[in-house]
Amino acid sequence: MLTRKKLQTNILLIVVITILINLIAAKLFFRLDFTDDQRYSLSNATENILKNLNQPVTVKAYFSENLPPDVEKVRSDFRDLLIEYSNYSDDNVVYEFINPNEDQQTETEAQQAGIRPIMINVRERDQVKQQRAYLGAIVQLGSKKEVIPFIQPGAAMEFALSSNIKKLTNENKPKVGFLQGFGTPSLTELQQANEQLQVLYDVKPFEFSDTANIPNDYKAILVVAPTDSIPTRYFDQLDNYLESGGRLLLALNSVKGDLSTAQGSELNTGFESWLRNKGIDIQNNFVIDANCSNVMVRQQQGMFVMNTPVQFPYLPIINSFGKNPITEGLESVVLPFASEIKIEPKDTSIYIYPIATTSKKSGTVNPPLYFDVNKNWTGVDFMQSSIPVAIIADGKLVGNTESKMIVISDGDFIVNGEGQSAQKLQDDNVNLFVNSVDWLADDTGLIDLRTKGITSRPIDASIEDGTKTLLKYLNFILPLLLVVFIGIYRWQLKKRNKNKLMNTHYA
């Protein structure tokens, strides 16, 4: 019999056990990660950064409360991430959460610190209203601090946090140089790439010298979209740099497309013949792809002239990538006026392979040509498949020293421009470029984190419209049918068991 004393004892034991479990759980935080991309597991790069912390890093997380579930999840995911950071760093990562919406003073403090508010829709009593929400953080080490103004839902949280901690603790950043002159864009025209690179690198403009070779303290030399011919003596300097173990990133145009005149022409800078001697042949042609971006065309519709988006195959959308840390997690990159890269190895000690190719419906067109935006493109125009547009060369490129080189057959994909003509690039264009620099110059492993986040899985553009419609309806209807079938099965099972019991005769 359960006496009153036993009941009180059992309740007391349950309370004590619950408290002990909570205390242990607070110290031994863990979670199982069954996601395909290990979204909820810390990378080796992050663990190494945290274990090497010699002094506490403080994270002030400015997050609003009582947000819609999809936005609130960002807050809970960020808190879980900070708990793991604290555990792996032996409590050298200290954090606190602050709700800026509590009062005006706290909100002002968040804005002055650089946390950017966003407007979100909140449903309250069957009404939708807009509310200012904060989803940012400040990472501080001593007197130094870095700001994460806004954490996008589904973004690479671990990269944002780890890279900022690395930036605060890294006293000697690797030095990378952007080639200047010969028609290359200035650093101000490469705003997004420059801003991303400065987190981990000492970014410098670089110019060839007639009296000295390229200094070995440059971890990588970056060449973006030259338009003028480069003297042969400077290619000798590049060979010497590679022979000393240097790394190169070449984003080159071998053709030029001008939409203002609708003309396409050939472009030669000298890199073409220099690369050809190394087994990399950038063709002087335009890649066309059925999976492409649009251009705006002015069309007469009745009495009105309207801007209409028209597919333009000379702006291929690349979403076929080789398995490599550079392209891991990338979804789509737009390479305007790219060219075909042919791989013709000259030496078995050099490993050359593509990391980005066109779709299964693509082709090439030779200049000079006129861009007819109203052309009716057919399957005959796209008879080629998987044309390489970005490659890696790894090995003894010159001499007996191991070196690396990345070649992308388009230089404009990473150029923002400046002034009124400046444009914002899509994230994956920047990610491809910065990941390439990481692969060449960074040994910390943070390259794996930049695109680590919730990825979208769009339907392949080459699939027929009828198949797309079928997939869409199957995706909607199949789960409902599954629930109905499970319900019917359980109902039939219960009915059978009930009939069995009713027909059982007991002695």
CATH of the domain at 434: 3.40.50
Judged by DSSP in three states, 107 sits in helix
For residue 210, the enclosing domain spans 181-448
State the sign of the Cα–Cα–Cα–Cα dihedral 425, 426, 428, 434: positive
Q: How far, CA to CA in Å, does 460 sit from each of 332, 359, 364, 393, 465?
A: 11, 9, 21, 29, 11
48 assigned to some structural domain: yes
Q: What's the pLDDT at 300? A: 66
Residue 214 lies in a domain: yes
Look at residue 454 in the predicted model and tell me its pLDDT.
Answer: 47
The answer to whether residue 459 is domain-embedded is no
Q: What is the pLDDT of residue 485?
A: 84
| 26 within a domain of the structure (yes/no) | no
Closest CA to 140 of 105, 109, 165: 165
Q: Which amino acid is at 472?
A: K
Residue 35, pLDDT score: 53
Helix 44-51 × helix 69-88 angle, to 10°: 50
Beta strands in 64-206 (DSSP E): 93-98, 118-124, 127-133, 135-141, 144-148, 175-179, 202-206
Q: Which residues contact 129 (CB under 8 A, 6 or more apart)?
A: 121, 122
Q: Do residues 328 and 446 make contact, with C-beta atoms less than 8 angstroms apart?
A: no
- In this structure, the answer to whether residues 243 and 371 fall within a common structural domain is yes
pTM equals 0.76
Number of domains in the chain: 3
Residue 463 domain flag: no
279 with 340, same domain? yes
Query: Three-class SS of residue 291?
Result: coil
Give pLDDT, residue 125.
64
Q: With a cut of 70, which residues of the chain have pLDDT below it?
A: 1-2, 24-40, 124-126, 154-155, 299-302, 305, 448, 450-465, 504-507
Q: State whether 424 and 484 are in the same domain.
A: no
Closest CA to 289 of 101, 73, 462: 462
Return the pLDDT at 177: 97
Q: How many angstroms separate the Cα of 399 from the Cα of each of 140, 212, 242, 350, 411?
A: 45, 20, 8, 11, 28
pLDDT of residue 314: 97
What per-residue confidence (pLDDT) applies to 460?
Answer: 59
What secondary structure letter does DSSP report for 453?
S
- Whether 153 and 263 share a structural domain: no
pLDDT of residue 506: 54
In a domain, 20, yes or no: no
The answer on 421 and 372 residing in a single domain is yes
